[in-house]
Amino acid sequence: MKYVYLGVSMLLTAFIFSMSTATGTESASLSLAVASWGEQTIESIFPRWEVDLNLLHLTIRKTAHLAEFFLLGISYALTFRSFRWPIWSLILAGLAVALGDEFSQSFVEGRGPSLLDSLVFDFPGYLLGSLLTLWIFPLRPRKINVSL
């Protein structure tokens, strides 16, 4: 099972880095399409509301950062737990992926690295996912005292 976790972790990491290869125009176009759909949906349910498309667009972009790294944190925590790798390496791996992903955008047209994205959205999302997973599935199984 640990190799399944490892494979999923590798695929999620590759997915995150692949999303960073989209040009600035392509990336903005994708998230703007989602934001436009969201705007139409919200306004159809709540016709009196006026949705600020720019704010919704920004919210969707930042939420995507949190969500993808939250899932990565879950995956890495299960992987590191199954291989019994130390927790410090789990934390270091998440920070490395967050910073590496943003740095890789330096080489993409219309994109650039953002320390803000790495340290305020990516890494905290990763930490939340990994620490929640380790809280639910501790590194060492809890002993159940069954005394009669």
* pLDDT tens by residue, 70-121: 999 999 999 999 999 999 999 999 999 999 999 999 999 999 999 999 999 9
In a domain? residue 105: yes
**Mean pLDDT score of the chain:** 92
CA dist 128 → 4, 45, 61, 94 (Å): 22, 32, 18, 11
User: d(Cα 2, Cα 23) in Å, to the nearest integer?
Assistant: 35
Q: Which contacts of 7-10 are long-range, i.e. CB under 8 A and separated by 24 or more positions?
A: 8/75, 8/79, 9/72, 9/75, 9/76, 9/78, 9/79
In a domain? residue 148: no
In a domain? residue 9: yes
Banded pLDDT at 54 (limits 50, 70, 90): very high
User: d(Cα 53, Cα 43) in Å, to the nearest integer?
Assistant: 11
In a domain? residue 143: no
In a domain? residue 35: yes
For residue 7, give its domain range. Answer: 2-136
In a domain? residue 98: yes
CA dist 34 → 54, 57, 96, 103 (Å): 12, 8, 29, 25
User: d(Cα 105, Cα 108) in Å, to the nearest integer?
Assistant: 5
How many other β-carbons are positioned within 10 Å of the β-carbon of residue 8? 17
Banded pLDDT at 138 (limits 50, 70, 90): confident
pTM greater than 0.75 (yes/no): yes
How many other β-carbons are positioned within 10 Å of the β-carbon of residue 19? 16
Report percent pLDDT > 70 for the chain. Answer: 94
In a domain? residue 142: no
In a domain? residue 95: yes
Number of domains making up the chain = 1
**Exposure class string for 33-71: b at 16+ Cβ within 10 A, else e:** eebeebbeeeeeeeeeeebeeeebbeebbbebbbebbbb
Give me the pLDDT at residue 41, please: 95
Give me the pLDDT at residue 63, please: 95
Banded pLDDT at 17 (limits 50, 70, 90): very high
- DSSP state, residue 22: S
